[in-house]
Structure formats: C-alpha cells, structure tokens
Amino acid sequence: MSRKPRIRSGGGATMHDVARAAGVSAITVSRALNQPQQVSPQLREKVMQAVDALAYVPSRSARTLASARSRTVLVLIPSLDNTVFLDTLAGIESVLDAAGYQMLIGNSHYSAEQELLLLRAYLQHQPDGVLLTGLTHAAPFEDILRRRALPAVYMMDLADDGRCCVGFSQEAAGAAITRHLLERGKRRIGFLGAQLDERVMKRLDGYRAALDAAGLRDAGLEWLDPSPSSMRMGADMLDAALAARPDCDALFCCNDDLAIGALARCQQLGIAVPQRLALAGFNDLQPSAWCTPALTTVATPRREIGSHAARQLLRMIDGDEPDALQTDLGFQLMLRRSS
Amino acid sequence: MSRKPRIRSGGGATMHDVARAAGVSAITVSRALNQPQQVSPQLREKVMQAVDALAYVPSRSARTLASARSRTVLVLIPSLDNTVFLDTLAGIESVLDAAGYQMLIGNSHYSAEQELLLLRAYLQHQPDGVLLTGLTHAAPFEDILRRRALPAVYMMDLADDGRCCVGFSQEAAGAAITRHLLERGKRRIGFLGAQLDERVMKRLDGYRAALDAAGLRDAGLEWLDPSPSSMRMGADMLDAALAARPDCDALFCCNDDLAIGALARCQQLGIAVPQRLALAGFNDLQPSAWCTPALTTVATPRREIGSHAARQLLRMIDGDEPDALQTDLGFQLMLRRSS
DNA sequence: TTGTAAGCGTTATCAA
DNA sequence: TTGATAACGCTTACAA
C-alpha cells in the first residue's frame, strides 16, 4: 500500500501547497484565482499572500486537462519571412494577449501538406480555435476542424461559403492597380509573379480581368515563377521580361519585394521609371515609400485583419456568432512616382 | 455512487478508446507510440490501425502532466517587426521541429518588464527550456530560471559569466565598421542610434572605442533616440544631424532601417554618398543590397544563432553539457558603394 | 461562501 | 513484452 510520490518537475508549489499555506481548500485557491468575486475578501487576501510567498505558478496542462479549455489559439501562417504575416501576427497578438489567450504559431512554409501536419501536431494542445491564412487548404483540413467543432477564421481573403473570413478581395485589388496603370496611358502591361500562392493567383486574375475589360490582355506579358519572391528575383525577372518583350511599358509585380528588385535593376540599366516603364507592387512595405522613385503599390490592412480575425474567433469560442461572416477590410492604392 | 462522466471537449478519441479498439491496454498504446521498439510488431500494427481508424490525437496536457516534460521551448524576443528576430526564429524552428519540440513565442516589445511578465505567464506551460535575446533582463528573471532549474541560452551577444550564449560581439562589430569608415579617410564620423536597446548601446561602445583609438571621438556627433527605428526616422535623424553638424563626413547607423532612410534622404537632397557623406548600417537586410548606392553594412549570422542556440538548449534539456558556454558566430563587413 | 469527491488523459512504477 | 494501478495538478458537480 506504499504510495510513491513522483518527483515534481519544476519543483514549484502546487495549488494544494498554496491551500495548505493559506489554511483553505484547494478549490478555494482555484476560485480565488479564477473567479475572485466568489471568494470572501479575507480568504482571497490570505490566498494571494500564500501565492506570492510560494511563488506559485498554476499548471496550464492540469488546467487544460481538467477544464477542457486550453485558452490557446492556433495561428497558421505561410511564412515567417514575410512582413505581411508578421504584421498580421502583431494584430492577433494584441487582441489575444488582452483576452488572456496565448497563441501557438505554425509556419506552413507555403505548403498545404505541411499545414495539415502542423494542424495535426498542434491539435495535441487542444487549441480553442484556429486562425488560418487563405481559403484553400488540404482536403482533410476542414473535416478535422468540423469533427472537432473547432472555430476557425480565415484571414486575408473573402469567401461567400459560410466560412468566417476577414480580409479583402485580392482580385479586386489586382484589378484596381492594373486599371490605374491603364489610366496612366500604359498599354502593354505585364505581370511579374513569384511564389504563386493562392493570393498571388487571385491578383493575377484581377489583372487579367482589368486588361480583358480594356481589350488589352496579352498572355505573352505574364511571367510566373513558383519560387519564393525576393528582390534579386525581381531584378532577374525584369531582365527576362524586357528581353522577351521590349515593348512592355508597365509591370504589376505581385509584391513589393519583386517590385523593388525590378526598380533597382531599372536604375542600374538606366531605364526611365515611369516614362519608359511604369512599376507597381503590392503590400506597401516600408522600403516602398523610400526607394527612388517611390513605389506605387497597394496598401493592405494586415494588422487590422489580424486583430479583427482574433476578435471574431474569440466570439466564436465563447459560443457567440461572429459579427459578420465576411469582413471586407478593403485596400488602398498608394500612387507614387513609379507609375 | 453514480459516476458522472464529463463531456469531453474535442470529442476526440482517447488512448483508452484506442486501447479498447486494438484489444490491448492503454499503456501498450502509449508505448507503441512513444517507444515502438518495446512493443511487439503485431501489437504495434494493431495499435497503429486503431489510431488511424479513430483519428486519435494524443493530449499534450495529459502527457505533460503525467511526464513532467512539456517538449516545449519558450522563445523570448524583443520584437516581431524586426527581420533580425524573425530570421533567428526561423533558425530555432528548424532545429526544434526536427526534434519534436514546439516553441512558444513571447514578444517583449523591447521591455524588460514585459519580458518578465511573459516568462511568468508562459511558465504555466512548464517549458523545458528558454531561449532569450540579449544578456540584460529584469532582476527576478534569472532567479526564476535558477529556482526552476530551467536551462536557458542567451542569443545575440556574448558573456563570460557562466551563462550559455550564442552570438557575436556587438561591440567588436561596431568598432570594425567604424574602423572601415576611418580607413576610407573619413574623420568626422557620426553615430545614429534608435531604440537604444542593449545591442545598440554596445555598437555605440564599439564606435566610441574605435574613434578613441584614432583620437577622433567627438561627443557632438552622436544622435540617440529611444523610439523604435524606422526608415522615416533615419531620414529625420539625417536632417537633424546635418543641421547640427554640417561638417560630419560619415554616419554609422545602428541598423539598416535607419541607414536606408538616411540614404534616401541624401538622394532627395542631392548629397553625394559616399563622397560628401559616407553611410553604413547594421544587419544586412535584403533591401540594403538593392538601394542606390548599395549600403555598406554588417552581416550578422542571425539564422545560425537561432539554430545553434536551439541545439545547445536541447543538449542542456537532455542533461548534457553544451558544447561550449560561449559560441562566437562572428559577423562580416559588407563593403558596398555607400562608403 | 466554502468544501468534498471524482474525474480529465496520460505516464511512472512495479509486478507478472 | 505486457498490464494493473496510482499519480500528475487542476476543475466540475454536487453538497453543506
């Protein structure tokens, strides 16, 4: 009948230790910490003193196990190298922090497979909800969410299929910036695309739609490369584009990295921007306002997408309906000297 | 005597469910998953089938509670807006992922207080170890680590006091880039500093030491501002510096953001870089190679710092000694057209 | 307002 | 190689 108490890991005090020190029961400690108004001021005071004295830190795993709520949210993003997602994370963080939730960050490296693996792995933590980037995911993904009744909010884009999304229309943004180039009098407008994720392809769709509407679409003016974008790649793609189509008079680059690289290359080659070739990017990263000439681009409400998505998710976790299934946070054309 | 089984949260299968389905005991399932070699191939096979059939996902909290090991590492960084720390995170992630560890990311927003709060909050997850940025932390910080016997690795800098660090000498790097400006014939070399965190101040120390050695130090050539750095701030600081000291012939900016902003401002003002004013930055971010003129800066092994620190930490968690207490991963001067 | 008892899902211990 | 049992630290349900 010999009990063999195991060795505690952290060596820290447990709730029972605190209870003993305060001369109350464990459940009173629990309540003093989590629902203070349910405990009389005197006891509460005693408990808090014992907590301080013992430097008590509650165990999240025990709490999660007992309550079946982890107060944790899983955030899946395609990359940590991209300012866009970091700004989004910052927005999410601000809201979750304030609500006492913690976030688990999963980096899918732009791979739907990886993303599925991450979901499976992080499911072990029993997150209370999930924030996702984009609308397209591996086949079993949504099944898993549904089976577990896991609230999810989709960020960055819009869908009209019952999923809760916070973002803006990538396609409309792509079309808008293309129309701007048309208005500037450009007629042979090309598209430079890298990474080729879902959002880039929608910007491409928007670009095509705008040119179709103007009767100026030319498939020979599209350059697409699935490898990750970078400034170097922008420079290389500019070379390739001008070599293939010297008549091209404007380029919509799928993001600012590409555009800045292309712009720098134009400077080196002495190509007049925007007279000979207009350039536009996407996202309005910090350097875009500072390069020469300053880059025309599309500002996207990344931080707001993150914070709003987090708020919606918390509402769903609490069993309430989200404010609206779709939240369109819009975008803004930043018209500068490069166009 | 009525048992009242609670409602499960996720509705997912438990290890007991798997055990029942496979016709074995729960502990056998546990072993089949965690120490497969201890279970006969037949049973292992049966268990794996049941796992698949039930889409079983182990509960991390139960595991942590029972085993007192969370297989989780806490990473504390000062900012998510700074590429430097993201690259570091990427390095950490690659190592931890491969080892089956997950990371909890805490963003201290450059505040020691916040950092302490984060440590306290994340301690609830019983992390097996901690990765820290910089050497200076709030007073109770190291006490807490010691009391809990939590392995910790300090990233980005070097210390000779028994703590395990992975980084490079910020001071040596600051001195090296300053000496380079001296070698270029510059004599009134200024310093532009923002954020003023620990690392910036050490770069400043290096700058001062180099100028002292040359007998050219001039306190009137230092401009320091504690607010977060940005390109706009670099531009503004350049204006202020030249207004105060038109004789200044070179500027060492504490990071590339500042330097790129200053460079852009020089372009606007028609100041010849590097003839009239040489510029140098720090970190070698992507745009630095692409601005005009390309920016002289210091390349730092951020990703390697992250991955090496993570490896050291895993070793300590396993009870082994780290390879070396101090790992100097060095830095590299990137001499470009701006100097 | 406070306490008791049981249970959350897993692993450590010991026995077979 | 496999299993029974207790234990991890906390919270829910119910009782006082």
CB–CB contact B11 A64 (8 Å) = no
Contacts B11 to A, Cβ<8 Å? 147-149
For residue B2, the model assigns a pLDDT of 34
For residue B68, the model assigns a pLDDT of 85
Does residue B3 carry a pLDDT above 80?
Answer: no
Contacts B62 to A, Cβ<8 Å? 61, 65
Q: Answer for the pair A256, A229: CB distance below 8 angstroms, yes or no.
A: no
Q: Is the peptide bond before B228 cis (omega within 30 degrees of 0)?
A: no
For residue A7, the model assigns a pLDDT of 52
For residue B9, the model assigns a pLDDT of 46
A26 touches strand D (CB under 7 A): yes
User: What is the distance in angstroms measured between the alpha-carbon CA of A315 and the sugar C1' of C8?
Assistant: 25
Does residue B324 carry a pLDDT above 50?
Answer: yes
A147 touches strand C (CB under 7 A): no
B128-148 confidence digits (pLDDT tens): 999 999 999 999 999 999 988
A213 touches strand C (CB under 7 A): no
Cβ pairs A/B, distance under 8 A: 143
**Minimum distance, in Å, between the CA of residue A329 and any CA atom of chain B:** 22
Residue B1 pLDDT grade (very low, low, confident, very high; cuts 50, 70, 90): very low
Contacts A7 to B, Cβ<8 Å? 68
| Mean pLDDT calculated for residue range B232-254 | 98
For residue A11, the model assigns a pLDDT of 62
Q: Closest Cα partner for A284 from A259, A308, A262, A306? A: A259
Poorest-confidence range of A11-15, B3-7, B37-41?
A: B3-7
Residue B89 pLDDT grade (very low, low, confident, very high; cuts 50, 70, 90): very high
For residue B320, the model assigns a pLDDT of 86
Residue B95 pLDDT grade (very low, low, confident, very high; cuts 50, 70, 90): very high
Contacts A125 to B, Cβ<8 Å? 60-61, 102
For residue B11, the model assigns a pLDDT of 61
B15-27 confidence digits (pLDDT tens): 999 999 999 999 9
DSSP A52-109: HHHT----HHHHHHHHS---EEEEEES-SS-HHHHHHHHHHHHHHHHTT-EEEEEE-T
Alpha-carbon span A83 to B86, nearest angstrom = 10
The residue of chain A with its CA nearest to that of B83 is A81
A196 touches strand D (CB under 7 A): no
* Residue A237, SS3 per DSSP: helix
Provide the sign of the torsion angle of the four alpha carbons A28, A34, A36, A42, taken in this order: positive
Q: What are the residue ranges of helices labelled H in chain A?
A: 15-22, 26-34, 41-54, 60-67, 83-98, 112-123, 139-147, 170-183, 198-214, 231-244, 256-269, 302-317
Phi, psi of A133 (to 5 degrees): -100, 125
Interface test with A, best of B8, B14, B34, B64 (most A CBs within 10 A): B64
Q: Closest Cα partner for B58 from A65, A308, A260? A: A65
In the block, residue with structure tokens 């606007």: B268
B259-292 confidence digits (pLDDT tens): 999 999 999 999 999 999 999 999 999 999 999 9
CB-based contact, B79 to chain A, within 8 Å = no
- B222-225 and A164-167: which strand pairing? unpaired
Residue B81 pLDDT grade (very low, low, confident, very high; cuts 50, 70, 90): confident
**Minimum distance, in Å, between the CA of residue A287 and any CA atom of chain B:** 7
The residues of B between 31 and 90 with beta carbon within 7 Å of nucleic strand C are 33-34, 56, 58-59, 62-63, 65-67
Q: Answer for the pair A327, A307: CB distance below 8 angstroms, yes or no.
A: no
- DSSP E strands in chain B: the ranges are 72-77, 102-107, 129-133, 152-156, 164-167, 189-194, 222-225, 250-253, 278-280, 297-299, 326-328, 332-334
Interface of A with B in 196-255 (CB under 8 A): 230-231, 235
CB-based contact, A30 to chain B, within 8 Å = no
CB-based contact, A146 to chain B, within 8 Å = no
A3 touches strand D (CB under 7 A): yes
Residue closest to sugar C1' of D14 by CA: B4
DSSP state, residue B296: B
Residue B6 pLDDT grade (very low, low, confident, very high; cuts 50, 70, 90): very low
Burial annotation B12-50 (CB, 10 A radius, 16+ → b, else e): bbbbeebbbbbebeeebbbbbbeeeeebeeebbebbbeb
Contacts of A201 (CB under 8 A, 6+ apart): A193
CB–CB contact B55 A147 (8 Å) = yes
> Residue-wise pLDDT tens for chain A (339 aa)?
333 445 554 567 899 999 999 999 999 999 999 989 988 998 999 999 999 999 899 999 999 989 888 999 999 999 988 999 999 999 999 999 999 899 999 999 999 999 999 999 999 999 999 999 999 999 999 999 998 889 999 999 999 999 999 999 999 999 999 999 999 999 999 999 999 999 999 999 999 999 999 999 999 999 999 999 999 999 999 999 999 999 999 999 999 999 999 999 999 999 999 999 999 999 999 999 999 999 999 999 999 999 999 999 999 998 888 889 999 999 999 999 999
For residue B147, the model assigns a pLDDT of 87
As ranges, strand D nucleotides with an atom below 7 A of a protein CB are 1-14
| Mean pLDDT calculated for residue range B329-335 | 98
B7 nearest nt, CA–C1': C8
User: What is the distance in angstroms measured between the alpha-carbon CA of B71 and the sugar C1' of C11?
Assistant: 14
For residue B4, the model assigns a pLDDT of 41
**Minimum distance, in Å, between the CA of residue A46 and any CA atom of chain B:** 21
Alpha-carbon span B10 to B1, nearest angstrom = 27
Residue A132, classified by CB atoms within 10 Å of its CB into exposed (0-12), middle (13-18) or buried (19+), is buried
In the block, residue with structure tokens 């866009």: A84
CB-based contact, B338 to chain A, within 8 Å = no
Alpha-carbon span A11 to B81, nearest angstrom = 36
A63 nearest nt, CA–C1': D10
CA distances from A64 to A118, A158, B63 (A): 20, 33, 11
For residue B321, the model assigns a pLDDT of 85
Residue B317 pLDDT grade (very low, low, confident, very high; cuts 50, 70, 90): very high
CA distances from B80 to A27, A237, A308, B94, B231 (A): 39, 30, 19, 18, 17
